[in-house]
């Protein structure tokens, strides 16, 4: 399950439990809409309460990043999980955005607002 909040050119996504394909599709719609309105968007992913994600999410994520990697300006990921931090590094190879990993919300938000 996810929650999505928008403010100016920022999309904040918090994932709770399993990150499903339906959740990812909801995120995609928000990014596509926002990028048409505001050009490049900033994204804050809060993965601290994410337990897992489905294989189809991983595949959809790869396809989406290949097609829309230039739609992002900055991406902040909040996680304490080393594997997810590593995944963020891999994403950085496919997007034209600055991606940083944080362990707390306040630091991530401050970086995006700077």
Joined together, the tokens standing for residue 109 give 């938000």
Predicted structure pTM score: 0.88
Q: How far apart are CA 77 and CA 32, in angstroms?
A: 19
- pLDDT for the residue numbered 62: 83
**Tell me: the pLDDT tens digits for 39-75?**
789 999 999 999 988 889 888 988 898 888 888 999 9
Indicate the DSSP class of residue 69.
G
Residue range of the domain that includes 70: 2-113
Q: What proportion of the chain, given as a percentage, has pLDDT over 70?
A: 100
- The total of structural domains in the chain comes to 1
Greater confidence (86 vs 47) lies with 47
Question: What CATH number corresponds to the domain at position 65?
Answer: 3.40.50.10600
């Amino acid at each position: 399950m996810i929650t999505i909040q928008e403010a100016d050119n920022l999309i904040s996504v918090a994932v709770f439990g399993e990150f499903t394909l339906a959740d990812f599709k909801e995120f995609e719609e928000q990014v596509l809409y926002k990028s048409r309105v505001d050009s490049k968007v900033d994204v804050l992913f809060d993965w601290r309460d994410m337990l897992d994600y489905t294989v189809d999410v991983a595949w959809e994520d790869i396809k989406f990043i290949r097609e829309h990697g230039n739609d992002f300006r900055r991406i902040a990921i909040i996680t304490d999980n080393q594997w997810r931090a590593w995944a963020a590094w891999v994403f950085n190879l496919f997007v034209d955005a600055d991606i940083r990993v944080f362990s707390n919300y306040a630091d991530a938000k401050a970086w995006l607002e700077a």
